[in-house]
Structure 1
Amino acid sequence: MAFPESVSVALPCQRHLFEMPADICYLDAAAWSPLPRGVREAGEAGILVKSRPWDHPRAVVPAWAERARAAAARLIGAGADDIAIVGAVSHAMAVAAHNLTLRPGGRLLRVADEFPSLRFAFDRLAERQGLVVEEIPRPSDGDWTEAVAAAITRPGAAPLALATLTPLHWTDGSLIDLDRLAPLVHAAGAALVIDATQAVGAVPVSVARWRPDFLAFPTYKWTLGPYGLAFLYAAPHRQDGAAIEENVGNRPPAVGARRYDRGELYDPVALSMAVAGLELIAEWRVPAIAARLRGLTDRLADGVAAFGLTPMPAALRAPHILGLRPPAGMPTDLVGRLHQDKVFVSERSGALRISPHVWANDDDLTRCIAALRAACQGVI
């Protein structure tokens, strides 16, 4: 997957758009992002539609839904008719699983320690259709792409029926190169479902390149939007399926992926916030965001390597998430001690996950490295 190392115009730090005090070092966008002021203000304007409907008629809200749909589509190279608006990625994955009929005895392939939203619905699908679930173990060299490619093409294996993949592992940002893997899945005649939760808004995503049957992402992480809203891309040949909930809006004559829209779609708060966040990302341009975040995580990687926290090589990790796995295991309450220093990161499955976004600046990097050095002293 070719993530940009440079772009023609560098994206400067956008901290001034956030309500973030100078002494807060928030490097946890992979958990959820703070809201830019403009997104918060859009939500407050949306509240008026519900609190004062005589002044702000709800008739304006459907246009917000279509604007959100179009903005989400542009970020992944799709058309607006290819996008359903749903409540969560788990909702999207349930729709996908509900609309796949696969060959019994075939393999359902995924990586180990996958996020639950990408497991639960497909576990039920496997039980229902007689699939064999194959989880690829975490590779000792960190090269998920090579491990997944080997599993897809393994001689003598049962036919591949479905691959449920992500562009990177959610626990530590290790790269899963779909530019290489998607063609292998298609060559095997299998379906492809992608959870792009940890990608859209931070790195380039292209349904034209990957040709998934379904792809989903939420708004509350890298696209700087609200909680409780997500988008589902359905390929054209997957747009005549059955919704998992029936409502007036998603029945015929609903066009394209609108067939899968959630009920109570016209939320004036969430939709207006989603539009504000998605359009802000588009204004900055995702390649420029990715290049900026690569610079930040590379500098963090260099800084922590000096005291024994060795990250994966840059070629094996995504630009926007730095995962650190201490050789002797995670020190007790490391994340809690960092929080005391107002450095906010996450621990996921034995990895310290550091995930800056466009608000992060040089002071954040310095403070994070210093706090990690102090917290790890004598235990790594």
Structure 2
Amino acid sequence: MSSPFLSSTLPAPLDWTQRHHAFALPAEVTYLDAASRGPLLRAVQAVAHHAVDAMAAPWRLPFDAWVQQIEQLRVLAAALLDGDAEAVAMVPSAAHGLATAARNLPLEHGDAVLVLEGQFPSNLLIWQRRCAEAGAHLVAVPTSTDGSVTDAVLQTIADTPALRIASLPHAYWLDGRVLDLNRISAAVHASGAALVLDLSQSLGVLPPDLTCWQPDFVVSVGHKWLLGPMGLAWLWVAPQWRTAGVPIEEHWIGRDAGSSWEFPIAAAPLYRSGARRFDAGGVADPLRIAMATAALQQINAWQPAPIAAALGALTTQWDTALQARGLGSWCTPGHAPHLTALEPPAAALDAVTTTLNTLGVICTRRHGRLRIAPHLSVTDDALSQVIAALPGR
């Protein structure tokens, strides 16, 4: 039977030269859909099997060892944010983390909340509800413009004196266009508004600068660019909310009940330190902890900046080859190194989609675009074959 101790089953992270062989993908597939779900690492697959086997004897995992695994994983996640494990909470989804932000940030009648037009639903629906409750209103930054999304955000901030909260991504989920959060965060803070960031399409590739950006809350799912399991996401919490913030659920793991584990009727135990008060119930099961630990160990070993450089070389190759074929208008200007979109004319979209499917290319088609989101499993040669097979205008 597998050991219940995670340290005994975790494979060592692979070095950079082995990156193309790190993923458990079928040989006939070119996977360009990491923006939907990251490709499965072989290490994550292996440790998941061990964790499932260990479920047959849950009593063999001591409570203290389980807590230690949780805290080790928290440190790994923090290393990709600002290095402070006290700032990080475990939640089941980006939506849960965003609901936590919406629960805590003040919003009054007449206030405005800024989002992107076409923003991912998790970072839209909660603000629609919160605005309806408070008598506030949403302001949408246009994203269909040919100009810079960053400039559009800055102009909207300047045009919105009632701005109270800005909730934004680092990379636009549909086509990877990057927001300059250095400039945007400065404008948000100058307006007196709070800043919430959804880094689900960037964390693990684009290094965040939280010291510069000074957000109130940051969320990211774990199953995209962090290469972990679904159902375990991350919430970073600014210092003021670690002491004054209220979680959206109450359960024993968020409270410090001491060794006696008593919960008296008269008063609840104090919250645990740091952002742990925001840890969600039920997410830290040994299976997800094991998978996320293997994934984040590998991401931290490779490091986001080299990952971004390697993926940027791929998407630059993509853009250059399309331009050489006279298909430059299909490209997305200003995209992130790891995420872009192919936007052929509407009349050609079905033919392009069929060609990619025939080649075994996995990508997402949405709103007239084919989203191109490679990870390190994709080689230069594989991408060249895809580009060469694309039909023309």
TM-score, structure 1 as length reference: 0.90
Judge which range, 100-109 or 73-82, deviates more: 100-109
Report how far residue 21 of structure 1 moved. Answer: 3.5
Say whether residues 1:165 and 2:168 are aligned partners: yes
Matched pairs, number: 362
Note the 1:112-123 alignment, pairs <5 A.
112-123=117-128
8 Å CA contact 1:15–1:360 kept in 2: the answer is yes
Does residue 287 (structure 1) correspond to residue 291 (structure 2)? The answer is no
Of 237, 244, 248 in structure 1, the residue corresponding to residue 248 of structure 2 is 244
Measure how far apart 1:330 and its partner are. Answer: 6.0
Residue number among 27, 36, 39 corresponding to 1:31 in the alignment: 36
Tell me if structure 1 keeps the 8 A contact 2:39–2:375: no
- 1:136 paired residue number: 141
2:365 pairs, out of 343, 347, 366, with: 347
- 1-structure distance, mates of 2:375, 2:146: 27
Q: CA deviation at 1:55?
A: 4.1
Q: Partner of 1:191 in structure 2?
A: 194
Q: Which residue of 1 aligns with 2:377?
A: 359
Q: Which of residues 273, 276, 283 in structure 2 aligns to 1:258?
A: 276
**SS at structure 2 position matched to 1:21:** coil
Q: Which residue of 1 aligns with 2:4?
A: none
Deviations 1:171-202 (A, max 9, x none): 00011111110110011000111100000011
Specify which of 320, 325, 332 is matched with residue 312 of structure 1: 332
Q: C-alpha deviations, 1:18-44, integer Å up to 9, x for none?
A: 122332211111110121111112222
Instruction: Identify which of 205, 213, 216 aligns with 2:208.
Output: 205
How many angstroms apart in 2 are the aligned matches of 1:267 and 1:238? 26
Q: Is the 8 A contact 1:13 1:360 kept in 2?
A: no
Unaligned 5+ segments in structure 2 are: 1-14, 256-269
Superposed CA deviations along residues 348-378 of structure 1, whole A, max 9, x for unmatched, are: 222211011111112221122133x1xx34x
- The change in CA–CA distance for 1:185 and 1:203 in structure 2 (over 3 A counts) is same
In structure 2, the residue matched to 1:4 is none
CA distance in 1, matches of 2:345, 2:303: 37
The offset of 1:57, in angstroms, is: 4.1
Residues 49 and 58 of structure 1 are in contact (CA less than 8 Å); yes or no, is this contact kept in structure 2? no
Q: Output aligned runs, 1:98-109, within 5 Å.
A: 98-109=103-114
Q: Which residue does 2:291 correspond to in 1?
A: 273
Matched-pair contact (CA < 8 Å) for 2:25–2:40: no
Does residue 335 (structure 1) correspond to residue 353 (structure 2)? The answer is yes
The CA distance in 2 between the partners of 1:131 and 1:138, in whole Å, is 22
Provide closer, same or farther for how the CA distance between residues 364 and 142 of structure 1 changes in structure 2, counting only shifts above 3 A.
farther
Question: Greater shift after overlay, 302-311 or 67-76?
Answer: 302-311
| Cα distance in 1 between the residues matched to 2:155 and 2:33 | 32
What value does the CA root-mean-square deviation take over the aligned residues? 1.9
Aligned to 1:182: 185
Partners of 2:217 and 2:348 in 1: CA distance: 36
> Does the Cα contact within 8 Å between 2:346 and 2:368 map onto a contact in 1?
no
What amino acid is the match of 2:245?
A: G
Between the aligned residues of both structures, percent identity stands at 36
One-letter amino acid of the counterpart of residue 110, structure 2 = G
Residue-by-residue CA offset, 1:146-165 (whole Å, 9 max, x unaligned): 110111112xx432111010
- CA drift of 1:56 comes to 4.1
Are the equivalent residues in 1 in contact too, given 2:102–2:127 (CA < 8 A)?
yes
The C-alpha deviation readout for 1:228-253, integer Å capped at 9, x for no partner, is: 11010110111222211110011324
* Aligned residue in 1 for 2:84: 79
Give the 3 Å change call, closer, same or farther, for CA 15–58 of structure 1 in structure 2. farther
- Secondary structure at 1:48's aligned position in 2? helix
The structure number with the bigger radius of gyration is: 2
2:221 to 215, 218, 221: 218
